[in-house]
Structure formats: C-alpha cells, structure tokens
Structure 1
Amino acid sequence: MLTKVLLILLGMSIILPSRSEEPRVELENGPSAHDDVYGHQPQAPENKLLSEETVPTFTGPYHRLGNLQAATHILNSILNNYDHKLRPGIGEKPTVVTVELSVNTLGPISILDMEYTIDITFCQTWYDERLRYNGSFESFVLNGDMVSQLWIPDTFFRNSKRTQEHVITMPNQMARIHKDGKVLYTIRMTIDAGCLLHMLKFPMDSHSCPLSFSSFSYPESEMIYKWEDFKLEINEENSWKLFQFDFTGVTNTTETISTPAGDFMVMTLFFNVSRRFGFVAFQNYVPSSVTTMLSWVSFWIKKDSAPARTSLGITSVLTMTTLGTFSRKNFPRVSYVTALDFYIAICFVFCFCALMEFAVLNFLTYNWTKPRASPRFRHPHIRARALTPPRAHVHQHPEAFVCQIEDSEESDGEEGPFCPAQQSFRRRTIQKAGNGCCKWCKKYFCVVPSCEGSIWQQGRLFIHIYRLDNYSRVVFPVTFFFFNVLYWLVCLNL
C-alpha cells in the first residue's frame, strides 16, 4: 500500500510541472502563430540594438557616461567655482598673452580724414590653471554666449576711431579651452584707425599706417604681450581696397609707455603703403605741363594781334589757378607746400611770365618808339630811323628817344627802330669780326662797350626789342626742360 502511494505522488509531481510550462511556451510562440489576427507586429529590437550599439569608453570617473553628459559634467565642474572677474595667476605672476593677427581686408585709406579701415581676425592665447581638467576631450569650443563666463584680456586698440564687432549670424567670437589650461580667444572686428600722413612728397609719398593695441587696465607688471613668432597672415587677394596705394610690407614694434595709471606694454603693427603715381600724373602733372606749353604759342603770334595773345595768356593763367585749386580739393589742410603744389606753382609762374612778356613787348614797342603823324611809305619793308639830338643832349635827356618810320630797300626784313647805337655797333663789329663771328651771335647777343645811343645800353647786353619773341621761343622751353629734370631727380631720389 505504501508503495502505491509513493508511485502516485511521484507521478503527480512529474505531470504537474509539465502542465505548468505549456502556457509559457505558447506565449513565446504566440506572435508567430497569430499574425493574421493582430496584424504586423514590430520585431523585438533587443538583439539588434545589442549587436549594433557602440558604447563609448571613457577613462576616469566618466567611463559610464555618454559624450554629451561627460562634456557637460566637465564644463560644470571647471566653471562651478570659476571667477571670471579675476585674471589667472593674480598675486603670483603676470599673465602672458600671445597675440596673432589675420588681416582679411585692408583699406580704403582716407587722405582727407587721415584714417584707414582694416578688417582683422584677432587671436589671443594664454594659460589659465583654473580651467585644467582630466578626460578624453582634448579641447572644448565655446561660442559667444559662453565666452562671457571666462576671463578675457581687456585689449583695446589705442589709435582706433571706430570699432565694429561682427554679430551676423552669431557673434563672431570663439574661445577654445584645452585640457592643460590653455585658452585661445578669437574675435573678428573692423577698425577705423587713425594714420598720420606726411604729405610733403605728395604724390611720390609712402606711409606707414599703425595699428596699436595694449591692455586698458593691467600694467606691464600684471600682463605681458608677445607675438606668436610674429605670425601675420595677409591675403592680398581677399578684396583689398587700397585703390591709390600699393602694399609694400608690414613691420612691428614693442614698447612701454608711462601713464598715470602705470607702465603699459604697447604692441604696434605698421602697414607700409606707397602711392600709385598714375592717377595723380594724369589728373595734375599732364594738364599742368600741357597748359604751360600752350602758353608759349603766343610767341609765334604777331605782336600786333593783341586780343589773341592777351586772351591766350589770361586763359593759361586761369587754367593753372583752377588746376591748383582742384589738386587741393580732396586734400587735408596742411600748412606746408607739397611737391605737387611746388610743380603747379612753377607752371603758374611760366604762364604768368609768358603773359608779361607780351605786356613788356607791347609797352616797349608802342611807348618808347613814337612814330610820326604822317609817315612816308616807299617800300613794303619799313625801317625806323632814329632822330636824336646831338650827343651832348643825349646824356642830359636819356629818355629822348624818337624814331621815324621810313622806307628802305636795304631793310633786312626786321621791323623795328634803327638807332645810332645799333648803326655804330654794326660798323665796329663788321670791321673787327669780319667773317669770323657767326651771324646768329651778332643778331641776338651783342655787347656794346661804347654805345652812342641811350645811357642804359652802355656796357650791357644789347637786346633788340622787336626780337623779344625770338628770345622767348628758346628761353622758356629750355628753362622748363631743365626745371623738370631737376624736379624729378630730387623727388624720386629723396
């Protein structure tokens, strides 16, 4: 009986576990057996996610966090107790700021306002031990909103008149924090800086436009600037706007200036430019030279054509006055004379002298030589015979010089007074010189040692009044030529 009871209990223990496991199997196999009833069911993604998921590995205490959580934790930890109002190393050592510049656009240069425009990307680098961290990230890049939470050097540009920081589409500034505490701060700005232009050699002038910067509140004992091996990136093809100038190079200086607030270190960049000569040459030098040479045309016009010669001379003088005023229109009001002003002034003197030459010729011809009321005409060629009193009266009245217009077949074709001084000189020179003296020298340059005419001719160079135009045709061009040679040699070699 006992044996039967044990067998019954053993059978029941085997049957009951098998029945309790049947529903679990059906539940696991249920979705595949009832697809038509419940429609499409998504597959369980456990196996797929486990096979494709890439779990980042970190060192230190952040190995169980993701990249975003780890970066947030690092930034919060280093900025939690960070005071951006205090400079790094305060009370211990000065902060060394390394500077680097990248010039995006240079120009234009305003001559009238004596300033220039420059677009730069300004980079500053320093070390801040408070920003050190441990982690797999080599650096963090912070945008413009986060930059305000860091200590930034209070650098300002000393010779700037206007400064613009670019904020489209976001503020153009960035801070990069390295794990060793190194901080790189970059900002883009456009500066209108003053540039003192020395215009003495204008338009053959060269200038050095400075860009000077320093700390506003930290003296040299607290902040030191230095160049990053003087790295200056200049891209001349990036829409430079120098126009009238050529870029010739850049230099830098470092100096310390003393102020009531302390001694500050000042860094200065000099952008060297030289003026292009073509624009000024065609606008000023060529018109001035042509106008001056145009005034010489009056020397080939007959002296009897007073309206033509007078109008030409006055027009030349007024044109030079206009050119001189136009050259100063877009020019700073400096108190010294520039090279261009000197050239225009000399051209003005040449034009004025050409006008005065006709005035002198007209005055000497029609006031010192008074013709008779009814002259006798015997031949187309006219010669004036001087009627002078005896020699004793000549010295008493030197102004008594009256010429009579007569005809003569022996006239040499020159219209003018035939005076006793000239007649006596011709006889003497013919006897002494003979054929040895050239006709041109006897005609134009003659010294009268014993003059029988007026007292003012004794021992002086005898100049024929009616040949004054002939002298001017040679003297004016030769003098202007030598002036140009001397002018350009001096201006181009200084």
Structure 2
Amino acid sequence: MLTKVLLILLGLSIILPSRSEGPHVELENGPSAHDAVYEPQPQAAEETQTLGKLSAATHILNSILNNYDYKLRPGIGEKPTVVTVELSVNTLGPISIVDMEYTIDITFCQTWYDERLRYNGSVESFVLNGNLVSQLWIPDTFFRNSKRIQEHVITMPNQMVRIHKDGKVLYTIRMTIDAGCLLHMLKFPMDSHSCPLSFSSFSYPESEIIYKWEDFRLEINEKNSWKLFQFDFTGVTNITETISTPAGDFMVMTLFFNVSRRFGFIAFQNYVPSSVTTMLSWISFWIKKDSAPARTSLGITSVLTMTTLGTFSRKNFPRVSYITALDFYIAICFIFCFCALMEFAVLNFLTYNRTKPHGSPKLRHPNIRARTLMPLPVSAHQYPDAFVCQIEDSDESDGEEGPSCPAQQSLSTGGIQRPGGCCKWCQKYFCVVPKCEGSIWQQGRLFIHIYRLDNYSRVVFPVTFFFFNVLYWLVCLNL
C-alpha cells in the first residue's frame, strides 16, 4: 500500500514540472505554432464579409428581377425613353467597290434609365454578362443600311449590362457590320466618299424612344489594323433626322465615315500606260510612208493596247451607267491612237491612188516638170469628160509624184474646167503638190499639203495631247 502511494507521488512530481516549463518553451520556439493557430481567424472574417456582400447582392438582384417585366419599356405610357449612344470603332474596312459596301467592327454602347431597377444597398453597380441580358429590357436598335451583322461570341457572347443604383443601365455589345455605301464614281479616281452607318429603333417610334449622342463621343482607334487599302480616312460627321413610315415617325441617327482615294495606285496602273501608249503611236510619223507594214503594225498595236487598258480598268469596277474621269481619259487616248493610224491610211491612199488617174496610165518624167496631155483620138467636143493630168516632181514630197490641185478635166478647147476625181469641198481646202495656186474665189482659204501630213502630225498630235492633259487635270483636281 505504501509502495503505491510513493509511485503516485513520483508521477505527479514528473508531470507538474513539465507543465510549468511547457509555456516557456512554446513562447521561445513556437511563433509558427502560434500563427498556425490564430492566422485563420482574419481569413474567416473576410470570407464572412464577402459571403455577406454576395448574399446581399444576390438578394438585391433577385428582388429587382422578381417583379420585373422585360417585355415593357421603361416609362411606358408616361414619357419616351431616352437612349444615349456612344460608339467605338475598332476596325474600318475594307471597302468593296464592286459590291458598294464596307466592313466596320464597332463596340456599340447604349445608356438609359429604368426606374424599376433602382435599389438601395452598399453595392454601387452590378455587371451582368450576356447570359442575363435576355432578362432585361433592351432597346431594339437595328442598323438600317446593314447587309450582314456578326455578333462575336468567343469565348462568351461579347455583350455586357451594368446596372447602377439610380436605375441607370449601360448595355455594350461588339459586332462586325457589312453596311452598304453608295459610291459616286463620276470623278474616279479622284473621288471621295462618305460611307454611312445608320441606326434607329425597329418598332418604337419617336414618341416612345429618343436617341441622342453622348456629346458626340466617337472613339476611333487608328492604331488598329485598319483595312482601307486604296483609301485615306479623312474624318467623321453625323446627322439626326426623322423618317416617316407607315408604322410612324422614327428617329434615325447616321454616322458618315469620310474617305478619299489614294491616287498613286490608279496612276501607275492606268494613266501612265495610257499616256505612254499614245506617245508610242506617234513614232509612225517618223517612219517613211513606204514602210506600210511597220506603220500599220504599230498603229494597230497601239489601238489594241488602249482597248485592253480600257477593259482592264473596268475589271474590278461597278457597272455604272455613266462615264468616269478615267474612262474619259482612256477614251481620248484611244482616239489619239486611232487618229495616228488613220493618218497613215489617208496618206497612203492619197499617195498611191490619187497619182493614178482613172482611165489613163501613170505618166512620169524624172528630170523636168511638164504638162502631158493624153492623146485624144477625136475632138474634145465629142468627149467632154476626157481626163487631163499635170505631173510634177517635188523634192519636198520625198520623190513622190502627184497631180496638181485641183485636178482638171478638159471640157473644151477654150480651157473650161470641171472638178475631177476630187470632191468640190476637198478642192477648196487641200492640195497635193507643193505649188498649188487656187483661183481668185479660193484665195484666203487654208490649204494643206497632203504629202506633208507627217510633218503636220509631228507637231499637231503632241501639242494637242499636251493641252488636253493640262485642261483635264485642271478640271479634275478642282472639282
């Protein structure tokens, strides 16, 4: 019995010192243990506070949406709903000339007040994603000149609703629009265009929905990859108008994106080749008229080249019914090339056909100028239409011989003359020999030496083309 008492006392003496020393050791070496015990306490407080806010926000959101009817607009029957619009342009272009449309990527923001969404609480605003947009009333805004609209849904629908305490609602959506743009190509390629983006309510007339700009705040981020290519962006304007329809009067807001065409590409693709081809056709004026194959091939090649350039310029072009500035320039160049070809045709015809009188052989004399008459077997009174031709050699006509002007027919022994192979009006203004002396009634008129057509063309064609270019560019650049 005594032994058991001693063992109990010994055990107590061992346990009590260890308990008295324990706190000192824990204070010296146990800060981590102390932290491990008391650190979760503030986190638990924050979680409790966050859970409290979440529950409060959920309660507020549920309370305002329980009795909310999204099918009715705010202020129905009392006043029109004012929708404030703000627009941000992400990307503009490309502009399709053939289809007369352009592509624009925008972020479209609409703001209005809905008294049914007012609430009291510590939460200043709610941000709802696209899944809850269908539970709220949203303006039925549509773009009037749109052809195709793509709403971005990667990775979630790119739309957002923000609800404020005072009932202010902000609705934002991102979309890509293919909108029509009526291009007036009369001054092409020195043309400028205003591509509209028009929107309004689809079902609510002006008495129920009013649109207005947020101080016309339009954000344009030109640092993005704009795809205008052949155009330069020059600015943006806006108008507000009311359109009357059988369904009522609707307020329409329109933005105009102004662009101007870059001239460099069209100049190198059309104007330079057309001008050079026209100038190349003038080379035939320095080729001898005896070289018919060379001059003919050059003229035909020039005409065909201008035809190809005219067709190529219309390849990627809308089929408009009017003539553009470029079409007019190419047409004039085509006329110059065609006239250069016709000049040789006229010269060749007059040179090799007018020298051969009908019904008589060609008379040539290499050294002297002589008047040679065809032998008349009978009297001239019996054959009044007998042909009389004067042949002259001229150094100025490159060795060619030609009849005098006007060609003469012997009508009688008294020297009465009638017009020969030439028409009367040709005899008034043209002569085919260097020394052509008209009668008294022809004096003072302009006579043109037909054999010198090449000499005239070397001056007339370049000078006329130069003055045409001066007049053309002055008119086109100042319109």
Contact residue 225 and residue 267 of structure 1 kept, 8 A: yes
Q: CA deviation at 1:67?
A: 2.0
Gaps in structure 1 of 5+ consecutive residues: 1-21, 34-41, 58-62, 423-442
Q: How does 1:143-292 map to 2 (within 5 A)?
A: 143-292=129-278
Decide which of 389, 396, 399 is 1:402's aligned counterpart.
389
User: What is the rounded CA distance, in whole Å, between the counterparts of 1:444 and 1:79 in structure 2?
Assistant: 105
The equivalent of 2:450 in structure 1 is: 465
The equivalent of 1:475 in structure 2 is: 460
Aligned Cα root-mean-square deviation (Å): 3.5
Percent identity, aligned pairs only? Answer: 79
Deviation string, structure 1 residues 440-484 (Cα, Å, up to 9, x no partner): xxx999995536xxx9x6653222121110000000000111111
- Gap change, CA 1:208 and 1:412, over 3 Å in 2: closer
User: What is the rounded CA distance, in whole Å, between the counterparts of 2:475 and 2:176 in structure 1?
Assistant: 39
Deviation string, structure 1 residues 173-214 (Cα, Å, up to 9, x no partner): 001111111111000000000000011111111110000000
Q: How does 1:51-70 map to 2 (within 5 A)?
A: 54-55=45-46, 66-70=52-56
The equivalent of 1:432 in structure 2 is: none
Q: 1:296 and 2:282 equivalent?
A: yes
Q: 1:415 and 2:399 equivalent?
A: yes
Q: CA deviation at 1:258?
A: 0.8
- Gap change, CA 1:385 and 1:353, over 3 Å in 2: farther
Q: CA deviation at 1:234?
A: 0.5
The equivalent of 1:431 in structure 2 is: none
- Gap change, CA 1:230 and 1:237, over 3 Å in 2: same
Contact residue 370 and residue 403 of structure 1 kept, 8 A: no
Give the TM-score, by structure 1 length: 0.78
Q: 1:311 and 2:300 equivalent?
A: no
The equivalent of 2:416 in structure 1 is: none
The equivalent of 2:323 in structure 1 is: 337
Contact residue 101 and residue 181 of structure 2 kept, 8 A: yes
Q: CA deviation at 1:49?
A: 3.7
Decide which of 48, 55, 64 is 1:78's aligned counterpart.
64
Deviation string, structure 1 residues 228-251 (Cα, Å, up to 9, x no partner): 000000111200000000101000
The equivalent of 2:439 in structure 1 is: 450
Deviation string, structure 1 residues 48-105 (Cα, Å, up to 9, x no partner): 4445654599xxxxx8962221211111111111111111111111000000000000
Gaps in structure 2 of 5+ consecutive residues: 1-11, 24-32, 375-379, 407-431
Query: Aligned AA for 1:123?
Result: C
User: What is the rounded CA distance, in whole Å, between the counterparts of 1:340 and 1:152 in structure 2?
Assistant: 49
The equivalent of 2:126 in structure 1 is: 140
User: What is the rounded CA distance, in whole Å, between the counterparts of 1:184 and 1:339 in structure 2?
Assistant: 48
The equivalent of 2:99 in structure 1 is: 113
Contact residue 403 and residue 417 of structure 1 kept, 8 A: no
Equivalent residue of 1:148, what SS? helix
Deviation string, structure 1 residues 253-284 (Cα, Å, up to 9, x no partner): 00000111111000000000011111111111
Q: CA deviation at 1:419?
A: 6.1
The equivalent of 2:90 in structure 1 is: 104
Equivalent residue of 1:292, what SS? helix
Query: Aligned AA for 1:355?
Result: L
Q: How does 1:30-45 map to 2 (within 5 A)?
A: none
Equivalent residue of 1:239, what SS? coil
- Gap change, CA 1:458 and 1:74, over 3 Å in 2: same
Query: Aligned AA for 2:270?
Result: N
Number of residue pairs matched by the alignment: 425
User: What is the rounded CA distance, in whole Å, between the counterparts of 2:52 and 2:439 in structure 1?
Assistant: 119
- Gap change, CA 1:463 and 1:416, over 3 Å in 2: farther
The equivalent of 2:477 in structure 1 is: 492
User: What is the rounded CA distance, in whole Å, between the counterparts of 1:159 and 1:420 in structure 2?
Assistant: 73
Query: Aligned AA for 2:235?
Result: G
Contact residue 97 and residue 223 of structure 1 kept, 8 A: yes
Equivalent residue of 2:297, what SS? helix
User: What is the rounded CA distance, in whole Å, between the counterparts of 1:404 and 1:445 in structure 2?
Assistant: 12
Contact residue 84 and residue 212 of structure 2 kept, 8 A: yes
Contact residue 303 and residue 362 of structure 1 kept, 8 A: yes
Query: Aligned AA for 2:136?
Result: L
Query: Aligned AA for 1:142?
Result: L
